[in-house]
Amino acid sequence: MNIKIQQRNPVLLIHGIDDTEAVFHKMRAYFIQRGWSVYSLNLIPNNGVVGLDELAKQVADYVTATFAPEQRLDLVGFSMGGIVSRYYVQRLGGINRVQRFITISSPHYGTVVAYGSQRPGCLQMRPDSIFLKDLNSDAVMLGQLDFTSIWTPYDLMIVPANSSQMPVGSQVIVPVTLHPWMLTDPRSLAVVTAALAKPIQLPLLNKKSSQQGTSK
């Protein structure tokens, strides 16, 4: 029998390409007002000139330096930050630290926009890249967490937009019209908050995927 535990973990926010942690200004305030402890870091460099696996090491180092070893976390990754976060979870031991994992408009299966740059991080975000194929080969492990992918069908940065869908965990569609608005639209903020507030079920075994939608 699953035991439900309502637990407020620290929330770690991971930004996208060409962004800094400042992009979470509204979201951070929204979460803090509702009782969460919120953390973020600046990925350096933030423009794709290094691989996403290298950026994920910065996330791992930050977690080690900031939180006690026994402290469980909730992780929110926006756009490229969702893929960086996945590498941390799937390849750098984050699976043992993270309980709730949320990606927002992240190119899980790549974006054609990445063809506009030859930078290593952009090459990794192209559709059918070796990097993404490797991560997706064992994405089923995300079912060990409370995983939620949030996306909009109108995204012009994640093309095709349904690249932000994942075959594991839950997904929520928030029909905003611009990629960056996924961090500021009240509907999006409400959806992320609901995902962070979900009780943890122990043990997290045989978690079935679910799908839900939102509409204005």
Model confidence pLDDT, tens digit, residues 200-209: 875 544 333 3
Q: Is pLDDT at 210 greater than 60 in this prediction? A: no
pLDDT tens figures, 15-25: 999 999 999 99
- What single-letter DSSP state applies at residue 207? P
Buried/exposed code over 69-100 (b: 16+ C-beta within 10 A; e: otherwise): eeeebbbbbbbbbbbbbbbbbbbbebeebbbb
pTM value is 0.90
How many angstroms from the chain centroid is the CA of residue 116? 23
Average pLDDT, rounded, for the chain:
92
Q: Is pLDDT at 147 greater than 70 in this prediction? A: yes
**What is the reported pLDDT for 216?**
36
**What is the reported pLDDT for 7?**
73
1: confidence class by pLDDT, cuts 50, 70, 90: very low
Which is nearest to 12 in space by CA: 96, 92, 88, 73? 73
| 96 to 25, 115, 141, 169, 202: CA distances (angstroms) | 28, 34, 11, 17, 14
Cβ contacts of residue 176 below 8 Å, gap of 6+?
152, 154, 182, 185, 187, 188
User: Residue 129 in contact with residue 108, Cβ under 8 Å?
Assistant: no
162: confidence class by pLDDT, cuts 50, 70, 90: very high
Residue with tokens 């026994």: 70
Q: Is pLDDT at 2 greater than 80 in this prediction? A: no
Instruction: Please count the residues of the chain.
Output: 216
pLDDT tens figures, 183-195: 999 999 999 999 9
User: Residue 56 in contact with residue 92, Cβ under 8 Å?
Assistant: yes
CB count, 10 Å around CB of 64?
11
**What is the reported pLDDT for 127?**
97
* Percentage, residues of the chain above pLDDT 70: 90
CA-angle at 211, arms to 145 and 76, nearest 5°: 40
**What is the reported pLDDT for 214?**
43
Per-residue pLDDT averaged across 34-47, rounded? 97
pLDDT tens figures, 71-85: 999 999 999 999 999
| 130 to 127, 138, 177: CA distances (angstroms) | 9, 13, 30
| Helix locations, the chain, DSSP H | 25-33, 52-66, 80-91, 120-124, 130-137, 186-197
